[in-house]
Every structure is written in C-alpha cells, then in structure tokens.
C-alpha cells in the first residue's frame, strides 16, 4: 500500500513510500483511510520542530477517517464496513491525562494516518457521526476535540458567555461553531478581512482584524462594556498572551492551546493573572471519552466541520504548503 513518510525533516523529506499491506492482530482493526486532515502540529512534525528526536521514517498526520476493512481476533468495538476515525491519542481513553496516556499519539511518536491503510487497536477508534463525510470526519480528532475539551469540558461554557477566538484556523473555527452551539457570543480576530467575513457568515458576533488593529485587546474589552471576555481561545502564544490578559474578565479562562507567534513572551508579568483571579488553563487535545461526547453533540446539532481545501493524495505536499502559508480558513484535508 502507499503511504507518505517523513524520511528526513523538512518538506523535501516528505516522500511517497510503499509499505506492506497491514494485517490485523489480536484486538486490532485494519482501516482503509479515505481522508486525512492536517493540523499545525503535523506541519511542525514534518519540519522537525515538534520533536527533533522523533524516530524516522514516520507516517505523518494524527487525523484521519475511513472504513474498517478487517478485524483481528477478539475485536468487539468495530466490525468490517464501519466508518471510523482514529483517536488522537490511542492510549488516552478517559479521565485525567498521564504520561502513559499521552505517549500514544498518532503522527508522532506513532505512525499516523497519511496512508492508504492503517492498523489500530480497536480501543483507538471512534465511530463517525452518520451525517458527516469521511473528509469532514477526518477534521475532528485533534482540532475539534481541542476546542471542545477547552471550552465545554474544562471551561464550562454557558449560554451568554463571550468567547474571544484568535485566528481562523482549524481549532479556532471549531471553537466558533461550539460557541454558537452553546448560545455564546463569539468575537473573532483574524489577519484577513475576507476571513472575518466568512467567520461572520458562520455566526461570529464581532470581528477584529489583528493586523490593522494590533491593539485588538482594547476593542475586545470595549465590546463587553469594559468587563472583559469570559473565555479566550489562545492559539497565538508569545505574541498574544499579554494582550489576552488585558481583555479577559476577572475570573475568566484563557485556554492556552497554541504557539503560532512564539513560545516565550518577552514582556510577561504574572501580576495580572493573580490580581484578576484569571485561570490559565493548558489544553492538550482530549481523551476518547471527550471525543465521543463531542460527536454526540455534533450529530444532534447536525454540525458540519468547515473544510476549506481538499487535496488529492499525490498533492499532500501542497496541502502542507497551504497550511504553512496560513492560506486556509478552518481545515485542510487530503483525500486518500
Ligand atoms: N494544545 C493542543 O492540544 C493543540 C491542539 C491543536 C492545535 N494546537 C496548536 O494550536 C495552534 C493552532 O492550530 P491549528 O491546527 O488550528 O492551526 P492552523 O489551522 O494552521 O491555524 C493557523 C491560523 O492561526 C491564526 N494565527 C496565526 N498567528 C496568529 C496570531 N498571532 N494571532 C491570532 N491568530 C493567529 C491565523 O489565522 P488568520 O489567518 O485568520 O489570521 C492562521 O491562519 C497551533 O499552535 C497548534 O500547534 C494545540
């Protein structure tokens, strides 16, 4: 079967390769992958920036969906023909995370989904909500679970809350959709007026261009009558955390998710955190239980992920290039 391998770090080291057709062992299922979606993490993995010690070759990409081709002895959770997605972490099924539970993530350190077939333990699979295509389903395991785990599970999102969402990438657009689902108010920031217009079509209540309004935290606070926002989807990191602390309300939650503008803020003070009783809550995707809880809500609300661009398998490199350039809105997918 065909797969992509990271044979050396860097986009030039991402190569098509042949691998033996997998056979299911005890407790395992072979999945014919139909679609894969990209996360920023996958791009960092290819570049060697996520884990420079990652053993190569590695099949990249944590997120994919497909059809069960065959199951091994002892499998009861899935059967041939089922439509399934891989869980981001194959070993975090529920409860609090631990080193062991976080060690089994697809697309590094384990081989990922950018392949025609994969073999996964039955416990590492989750059924696709019936109304979704494989391409839509492939966009859920990392980005959507991260947004749901942050806002709904750890953040206790409520109707009437105000959520500030940074950017319009995969995690952020899911956060916008979940804010809408819960009757919360969404303020979206973006570097692009065109993307802001698309966010408005999806139901964003207020829009701020962070390029033309670099002090975006000021209008964000003004939009709440000076009180501050209840939740922030913090994907920027070093370049945004200081500003987030200036527009969060007293007692609000900053969901610390990404580092798109760097990892180490140079102008950082801990004073606003304690003086405003702010919660800085780290987020690391989520467990299978969280994934399944989210899928029930997605099915009930017939929510559809926003897949901006779909590339054929032989153009996977172009998909990574689009992600690197930030040219997308929501998700980028590869059909296998
Ligand atoms: N902790 C976790 O569990 C977890 C899970 C998933 C992702 N992440 C991290 O979260 C981040 C986003 O991941 P993703 O897969 O959603 O990425 P993505 O789809 O590539 O999103 C990129 C978008 O982020 C926005 N952005 C970039 N710099 C920004 C800044 N300084 N301020 C505001 N927005 C900015 C841009 O939106 P515009 O084009 O609209 O400006 C850009 O298009 C990455 O750092 C990723 O590693 C963490």
What's the gap in Å between 233 CA and the centre of ligand 1? 10
Neighbouring CB atoms inside 10 A of 194's CB total: 9
Give the residue among 315, 291, 295 at the shortest CA–CA distance from 303. 295
Q: Which ligand 1 atom minimizes the distance to the CA of 323?
A: 20
CA 216, CA 135: separation in Å to the nearest integer? Answer: 34
* pLDDT recorded at residue 40: 97
What's the gap in Å between 313 CA and the centre of ligand 1? 24
Mutational test site, ligand 1, from 105, 260, 326, max ligand atoms within 8 Å of CB: 260
Beta bridge partners of 335: 35, 312
Residue 265 pLDDT level (bands cut at 50, 70, 90): confident
The model's pLDDT over 278-287, given as tens digits with 9 standing for 90+, comes to: 999 999 999 9
In CATH, what is the architecture of 144-282?
A: 3-Layer(aba) Sandwich (3.40)
Mean per-residue pLDDT over the chain, rounded:
97
What's the gap in Å between 156 CA and the centre of ligand 1? 22
Pocket residues: Cβ below 6 A from ligand 1: 39-41, 142-143, 146, 166-172, 189-192, 195, 210, 235-236, 239-240, 257-261, 283-285, 323, 326
* pLDDT recorded at residue 131: 98
Are 2-139+305-335 and 144-282 the same fold in CATH? Answer: no
What's the gap in Å between 249 CA and the centre of ligand 1? 23
Give the residue among 194, 198, 155 at the shortest CA–CA distance from 178. 155
Q: Which ligand 1 atom minimizes the distance to the CA of 332?
A: 19
The model's pLDDT over 122-176, given as tens digits with 9 standing for 90+, comes to: 999 999 999 999 999 999 999 999 999 999 999 999 999 999 999 999 999 999 9
Q: Which ligand 1 atom minimizes the distance to the CA of 149?
A: 3
What's the gap in Å between 23 CA and the centre of ligand 1? 36
Residue 268 pLDDT level (bands cut at 50, 70, 90): confident
* pLDDT recorded at residue 80: 98
CA 158, CA 317: separation in Å to the nearest integer? Answer: 40
The model's pLDDT over 19-51, given as tens digits with 9 standing for 90+, comes to: 999 999 999 999 999 999 999 999 999 999 999
Q: Which ligand 1 atom minimizes the distance to the CA of 39?
A: 15
Residue 126 three-state SS: strand
CA-nearest residue for atom 34, ligand 1, is 167
CA 119, CA 17: separation in Å to the nearest integer? Answer: 17
Residue 267 pLDDT level (bands cut at 50, 70, 90): confident
Q: Which ligand 1 atom minimizes the distance to the CA of 143?
A: 6
CA 202, CA 160: separation in Å to the nearest integer? Answer: 17
CA 46, CA 39: separation in Å to the nearest integer? Answer: 11
CA-nearest residue for atom 35, ligand 1, is 167
* pLDDT recorded at residue 167: 98
Q: Which ligand 1 atom minimizes the distance to the CA of 191?
A: 41
- Residue 163, phi then psi, degrees to nearest 5: -115, 125
Q: Give the CATH number of domain 2-139+305-335; options: 3.90.180.10, 3.40.50.300, 3.40.50.150, 3.90.1150.10.
A: 3.90.180.10
* pLDDT recorded at residue 275: 96
CA-nearest residue for atom 13, ligand 1, is 40
Report whether pLDDT(266) > 90. Answer: no
Domain residue spans of the chain: 2-139+305-335, 144-282
The model's pLDDT over 208-246, given as tens digits with 9 standing for 90+, comes to: 999 999 999 999 999 999 999 999 999 999 999 999 999
Count CA atoms closer than 13 A to 215's CA, side-chain side: 4
The model's pLDDT over 70-120, given as tens digits with 9 standing for 90+, comes to: 999 999 999 999 999 999 999 999 999 999 999 999 999 999 999 999 999
Q: Which ligand 1 atom minimizes the distance to the CA of 196?
A: 40
CA-nearest residue for atom 4, ligand 1, is 257
What's the gap in Å between 253 CA and the centre of ligand 1? 18
Beta bridge partners of 208: 189
């Amino acid at each position: 079967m065909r797969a992509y391998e990271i044979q050396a770090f860097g986009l030039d080291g991402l190569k098509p390769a042949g691998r033996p057709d997998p056979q299911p062992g005890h407790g395992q299922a072979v999945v014919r992958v139909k679609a894969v979606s990209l996360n920023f993490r996958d791009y960092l993995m290819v570049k060697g920036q996520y884990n420079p010690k990652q053993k190569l070759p590695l099949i990249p990409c944590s997120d994919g969906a497909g059809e069960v081709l065959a199951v091994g002895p002892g499998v009861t959770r899935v059967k041939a023909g089922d439509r399934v997605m891989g869980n981001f972490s194959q070993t975090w099924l529920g409860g609090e995370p631990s080193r062991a539970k976080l060690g089994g993530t697809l697309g590094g350190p384990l081989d990922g989904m950018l392949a025609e077939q994969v073999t996964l333990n039955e416990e590492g699979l989750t059924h696709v909500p019936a109304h979704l295509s494989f391409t839509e389903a492939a966009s859920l395991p990392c980005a959507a679970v991260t947004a749901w785990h942050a806002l709904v599970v750890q953040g206790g999102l409520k109707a009437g809350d105000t959520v500030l969402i940074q950017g319009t990438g995969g995690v952020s657009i899911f956060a916008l959709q979940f804010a809408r689902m819960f009757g919360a108010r969404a303020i979206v920031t973006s570097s692009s007026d065109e993307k802001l217009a698309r966010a408005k079509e999806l139901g964003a209540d207020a829009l701020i261009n962070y390029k033309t309004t670099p002090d975006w935290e000021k209008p964000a606070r003004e939009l709440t009558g000076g009180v501050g926002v209840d939740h922030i989807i913090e994907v920027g990191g070093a370049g945004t955390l200081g500003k987030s602390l200036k527009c969060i309300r007293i007692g609000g939650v900053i969901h610390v998710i990404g580092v798109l503008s760097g990892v180490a803020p140079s102008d950082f003070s801990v004073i606003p955190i304690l003086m405003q009783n702010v919660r800085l809550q780290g987020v690391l995707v989520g467990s299978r239980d969280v994934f399944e809880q989210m899928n029930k809500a997605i099915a009930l609300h017939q929510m559809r992920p926003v897949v901006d661009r779909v590339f054929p398998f032989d153009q996977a490199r172009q998909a990574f290039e689009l992600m690197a350039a930030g040219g997308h809105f929501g998700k980028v997918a590869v059909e296998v």
